[in-house]
Each structure stands twice: as structure tokens, then as C-alpha cells.
Amino acid sequence: MFGTDYLYVDQTKGAAGGALQYISRYGIKNKPNGTLSNPDVMTLTRCGHTQSLQWDGGNHFWIGVKVKSVGTRELTAYEEVIDWATQIGRISYQPGATIDYTQIPRILSISRANLSGKVFGSILRCEVALTSDRRYLLVWSMNTARGIQFAYYKTEQLNKEMDRLTNNASKYSGAHEAPIKKACIGSYSAVFGQYNLPYNSLQGIEFANNFVVYINSDQSDEKYGVHRPRVSKKPWGTTDFETGSVYINTPNVSGYREA
């Protein structure tokens, strides 16, 4: 993620108490090329694996927080491999700081992140994307039955609630509660078998000002031996992201690729 003078990188590391996130910040001012090194780092504990790091153009980032494993050890084999984030948080970057997900203003009950506020299964993972004009925030989620849900919100209204939570003892607000639910502009969902993702994978999502959804997918080299990333560009309301997706030529770098 590029800011004005910095490049931000979000990485995840497994930990016994729940996966950690490390957000590294590299100075890029007056550095048109070359190698970046010696970043400052912010550590987020029990925040889990996320594909999201969305800069709001000011002092905050929208990210995925709260590991799936917090509060339960009854995880499937798939969930044990990847300790996904299950809530949406807004942070201010603090170099050298270590904070827990409980200290982050956040939206929970993401299975209810829709126009009606009704439950869409049990949450497995979630991601977030901010339009480039920062007017709307897209929340994407998958439940444990592999159903997927899309909803987008007025960022201005969400920020008002996050500002309130920042100074509040309780740092969370439910997606079905009025401050969040009233900010929702549109939503749709699809159960497993009624949508298509390349490789059944989502490794990144973006939301354009014209309500086009971009999804990045890849296959695992552990299963297939090679990476073949694909990018989909589809209008809002789409459930078929596989048809017309474009293959991206990249160097074949070994390493685990999450779904």
C-alpha cells in the first residue's frame, strides 16, 4: 500500500494465541528506485490473516482483525491452516507499537454485514476494500459453508462510528446495529455452488468508484506446483468472477498461497 512518502506492507505470522499481523512502513520519498530496508513496524496481536490494508488518504487504515481461533478451538482442518481475520477494524499507524485486536475500533458480526442485518451463516473470513475517492467501503465475507457476501457502506458514516469507538471503553459495533446498518447502501450474497471464483480463491479485492469489483485469485503451489494468478473485473451484483478473468504473468516464486 502506497502513501505519500511511505510504502506500507502487511504480513501475517502464526502464533499460539492467534495469528499476528506486522505492518511495516518503508520511506520512499526521493527514492524512485532501489532496495527498501530498515522499516519501522507496528504489531497487531490476535488479528489473523487478511488480504486487506486500505489507506483512507489520511491517518487511518481499514484492515481485517480478530482471528477465527479466538474463543474456539473447534476449527476445521482448512481453518487451522489459515487463521483468518473475522472482523473489520480501523487503525492509526503507530511505529513500534503493539496492540491487540480488542484495542482497535472495529465492526463485528460480519455475517450480518448486509442491508437487512440478518445472519448469513457463521463467519469464516472477511476482507475490505475502499474506493479510490474514499466514499464507499466494501466488506466481503465468506461463511463456514463457503457462502459469500458483498456489502458496501458510506465511509463517512462508518468513520463517525469509528471515531466514537476510539474514545469509548467498548471498541466495537455490530454490523446489524444502527450506526453500521444505516450506512449500508447495497448488498448481495450467494451460497456455495451459486458463484464462481477462479480456483475458488480470493487473495485480494478492490472496489472502484463506478462500483466495479476486482478480485485477485491464485492456485497453491503446494497443490499444483506453479502459480497462475488471475484477476477478475466485474460489475456490482456479479456472482461469476471466473468467466473472463485474466491470467497475469509473474515470476514463479515458491511459497504458500492462501485461498
Q: What is the pLDDT of residue 137?
A: 99
Q: Are strands 204-207 and 172-174 parallel, antiparallel or unpaired?
A: unpaired
Residue recorded with cell 479510490:
132
In the structure grid, which three cell numbers stand for residue 114, read together? 448486509
Instruction: Calculate the alpha carbon distances from 150 to 143, 209, 227, 228, 239 in Å.
Output: 12, 16, 27, 25, 10
Q: What is the pLDDT of residue 250?
A: 65
Instruction: Calculate the alpha carbon distances from 95 to 47, 90, 163 in Å.
Output: 17, 16, 21
Q: What is the pLDDT of residue 98?
A: 98
Q: What is the pLDDT of residue 180?
A: 99
The pTM for the full model equals 0.90
Residue recorded with cell 448486509:
114
202's enclosing H/E stretch is none
Cα separation, 53 vs 62, whole angstroms: 6
- Cα–Cα nearest to 44, from 64, 24, 22: 22
Q: What is the pLDDT of residue 1?
A: 54
Residue 189 CA, chain-centre distance (Å), reads: 17
Residue recorded with cell 513500534:
96
pLDDT per residue as tens, the chain (259 positions): 556 789 999 999 988 888 999 999 999 988 888 888 999 999 999 999 999 999 999 999 999 999 987 554 444 444 456 789 999 999 999 999 999 999 999 999 999 999 999 999 999 999 999 999 999 999 999 999 999 999 999 999 999 999 999 999 999 999 999 999 999 999 999 999 999 999 889 999 999 999 999 999 987 666 666 778 999 999 999 999 999 999 987 655 444 444 4
Instruction: Calculate the alpha carbon distances from 60 to 41, 63, 105, 174, 186 in Å.
Output: 15, 10, 11, 20, 24
